Amino acid sequence: MTVEETNLAAVATWAALYNTDPDRMIDECYAVDPEVVAPEELRITDSATFHAMEKAGREAMPDRHSEVLSTAAVGDRVFVEGVMTGTNPVNGTPLRVHWMSVLTFADGLIVKDRTYMDWSVFKDFNRTAEYRAADAGLDLTATAGPTPATDRPTTTGATMTTAEPLPSTDSISAFYDIASQVLCELWDESFHAGYWESEADDSSNKVAADRMTDEMIGLLAPVDGAEILDVGCGIGTPAFRLAGAARARVRGISINEAQVVEANRRAGERGLADRVSFDHGDALALPYADASYDAAWAFESLIHMDRLAALREISRVLKPGARLVVADLLQTGPLDEADQELVRDGLQRMSASPMLTEAEYRALVAEAGFELEEFRDVSRHTAKMATRMVESTDRRYDEMVARFGEEAIELMDLIRSPAAQLPEMGYLLAALRKPA
């Protein structure tokens, strides 16, 4: 048999096993730790993650079925065109999506798999998003084919070179079941960093947290009558302040239902319910029409998300020319192996995605199709946050354990972990614009 014939036979097995036994497909058709890439979607370089991703895919759409429509073998490559069908488990509607794979073989096994398809059809149950490299700067240049290297953001942060699983919405929501309550006690009713003018500024946590909201409002520059979306709204504290700054309508959304109930209760209490309201939902599948908002902010909420997918989804609901303001963690310097591990562990424990460097952030924004109007590294202004958090935790540790139990311990230990004290853990504010 020629190499091409051998590879085509392997593709027939590959296609059959995909539908009957994907785990066997991975073990029998792929080399150990193959490179599996779906451009801009995922990049897997180890078999364990590959198995986990296939499992997630099956769970997301149990009746998925792929059919090969055509194959062409050239040298060590086979080009496969196919169609996948199944039922969207969220709303029961049938799905049908075409795909195309370029498989590179060595000794009859797939060493490289590049698969192209329109992933947006899965967006309302997109488990594979959890396996995306959170990095817009995925270094795919080596296998990117005709895409010029300069069009691709480069990968600069060591944390971004592996496709770490991103937090699931369940784990984020569970984290906030307890965090909302403990943070209200230990920090403020805003669940975001404080902003201190200088080292000498001794403002309280609450004053500093409100000042950060004011910085965000300044960047957003809301106009009266605007429809504004607050992505990851907590219990609404920043939204109320925003609504106080302009006669705008603010709609918040959070993945944690208890927060939404509390935020709506507070809106009523403040007499703001007619123009400030909150929905329970996922920022990665916003329950809003295309181009329905004049402005939006994601106030320390992207840290929990696949940032690229979230930015694209927010862009979808924004009107052309609308502004999106973002507050997020920022990695301000290189981390050695040990610190990287500390940060990775800390972020995972708070259901957060890896933090990005400025270069990575700029690349992310561009990749998501936004223009970056302003990027501010405000790490100097948030530096007091870490020690303030530890101080208030130490002061009320026993009381929190007594009131909220074991789970409060986990959160407070996280607040007191050395990762939270690393100076490289900085903070950014950015103003983005959806092109007009």
Question: What whole-number distance in Å separates Cα of residue 300 and Cα of residue 310?
Answer: 13
Phi, psi of 77 (to 5 degrees): -115, 150
- Regarding 205 and contact with ligand SAH (CB under 6 A), the answer is no
Nearest-approach distance from CB 45 to ligand SAH, in angstroms? 26
Choose which of 233, 314, 363, 386 interacts with ligand SAH (CB under 6 A).
233
Residue 198's CB: how many other CB atoms inside 10 A? 9
- Regarding 353 and contact with ligand SAH (CB under 6 A), the answer is no
Nearest-approach distance from CB 22 to ligand SAH, in angstroms? 27
User: CA 424, 128, 307, 91 torsion: positive or negative?
Assistant: negative
User: CA 152, 156, 157, 159 torsion: positive or negative?
Assistant: positive
- Among candidates 370, 369, 344, which has minimal Cα distance to 355? 344
Number of residues that bind ligand SAH (CB under 6 A): 24
- Site residues for ligand SAH, 249-288, by CB under 6 A, read 253-256, 259, 282-284
Question: What whole-number distance in Å separates Cα of residue 239 and Cα of residue 217?
Answer: 10
Nearest-approach distance from CB 7 to ligand SAH, in angstroms? 41
Beta strands in 75-160 (DSSP E): 77-87, 94-106, 109-117
Site string for ligand SAH, 293-332 (x = CB under 6 A): ------xxx--xx---------------------------
Calculate the alpha carbon distances from 44 to 56, 102, 333, 407, 408 in Å. Answer: 14, 15, 26, 33, 35
- Regarding 192 and contact with ligand SAH (CB under 6 A), the answer is yes
Question: What whole-number distance in Å separates Cα of residue 360 and Cα of residue 138?
Answer: 10
Amino acid residing at 55? K
- Regarding 40 and contact with ligand SAH (CB under 6 A), the answer is no
Question: What whole-number distance in Å separates Cα of residue 404 and Cα of residue 410?
Answer: 11
- Site residues for ligand SAH, 130-169, by CB under 6 A, read 169
Q: CB-wise, 142 or 289, nearer to ligand SAH?
A: 289
Nearest-approach distance from CB 295 to ligand SAH, in angstroms? 15
Site string for ligand SAH, 19-38 (x = CB under 6 A): --------------------
- Regarding 176 and contact with ligand SAH (CB under 6 A), the answer is yes
Choose which of 172, 219, 335, 364 interacts with ligand SAH (CB under 6 A).
172
Phi, psi of 337 (to 5 degrees): -50, -45
Choose which of 115, 155, 190, 357 interacts with ligand SAH (CB under 6 A).
190
Q: CB-wise, 104 or 190, nearer to ligand SAH?
A: 190
Question: What whole-number distance in Å separates Cα of residue 277 and Cα of residue 49?
Answer: 39
Residues in the chain: 436
Nearest-approach distance from CB 190 to ligand SAH, in angstroms? 4
Nearest-approach distance from CB 370 to ligand SAH, in angstroms? 19
Q: CB-wise, 169 or 181, nearer to ligand SAH?
A: 169
* Binding positions for ligand SAH, rule: CB under 6 A: 169, 172, 176, 190-192, 232-234, 237-238, 253-256, 259, 282-284, 299-301, 304-305
